Amino acid sequence: MTQRFVDAADEWAEARLEDRETAIETKAEQALLEIEYLVSGRTEVSFEVDAEAGELHYAPSDPLAERLADQAAETGLDESTLLRLHVDLFVGAFSTDDDERPPNAPPV
């Protein structure tokens, strides 16, 4: 997980009064679902988060794996780096700007 990913998860956690691990899982699911849906039409993903190690483990669908392989051949980057870049891009897709904080939330 990049610092951008962790920062987005921290913002999500603060806005929703969630712990960091829950927010990291939420942001990972949102980003992976967005990517998978755009490439393969999938509406469910399964992944593992190792928050202590700062790692997200995900096995992409066949269509996404093929797309990543094509992009790797075009760019010279490996598939895991490309997937990390895509996740990093989509981690902010669900902004908290429009969300209201709960009335009992402490001031920001």
26-70 pLDDT tens trace: 999 999 999 999 999 999 999 999 988 989 999 999 999 999 999
SS3 46: coil
Residue 13, domain member (yes or no): yes
* Residue in the structure block whose two tokens are 């928050």: 51
pTM (two decimals): 0.81
Residue 102, domain member (yes or no): no
Residue 48, domain member (yes or no): yes
Structural domain including 73 reads 3-94
DSSP secondary-structure letter at 18?
A: -
Residue 101, domain member (yes or no): no
What's CA 81's distance to the chain center, in Å? 14
What's CA 104's distance to the chain center, in Å? 28
Cα–Cα distance for residue pair 86/90, rounded to 1 Å: 6
